[in-house]
Amino acid sequence: MATIRPENLTVPEIVEAFVAVSLAQSQAVDEDDHRRYNKLVDDYLALEAELRSRQGDERRALLPLLDHMNVQVRMNAALSTLAILPDEARETLRLIHARREYPQAADAISMLNALERGIYVPE
């Protein structure tokens, strides 16, 4: 996937790119391709940052993704919306863990523990 320039995209286009990046991450996880996964993290974070920078914080546009069929899409959407939709995001993380959707389930429970202990405070 090419480097994304989210500042040139509309909010719906950013959400579409967010899904595409998350699905590519899911494939990288399935293929045990850590290098590709890590590269895609930069794209995912750039998309999240662009949504956050938009007037009114457009990360709310990711809300429908909390119910996406792909676990990586749900995981990324939950992490990206913790600051603005904490209840919904935490519930998504709880469900990922409860359904044992590994390896994301391990990250989900780690994040929930960090939130509970105050080690991580979402922005």
Domain count, the chain: 1
Residue predicted with more confidence, 67 or 121: 67
The model carries a pTM of 0.92
Look at residue 123 and tell me if it is in a domain: no
Residue predicted with more confidence, 36 or 5: 36
Look at residue 106 and tell me if it is in a domain: yes
What lies within 8 Å, CB to CB, of 101 at 6+ separation is 71
Look at residue 1 and tell me if it is in a domain: no
Look at residue 23 and tell me if it is in a domain: yes
- Asked if 40 contacts 24 with a C-beta cutoff of 8 angstroms, the reply is yes
pLDDT digits (tens, 9 = 90+) for 81-92: 999 999 999 999
- Asked if 110 contacts 78 with a C-beta cutoff of 8 angstroms, the reply is no
pLDDT, residue 122, reads 87
pLDDT digits (tens, 9 = 90+) for 49-74: 999 999 999 999 999 999 999 999 99
Tokens standing for 22?
């998350």
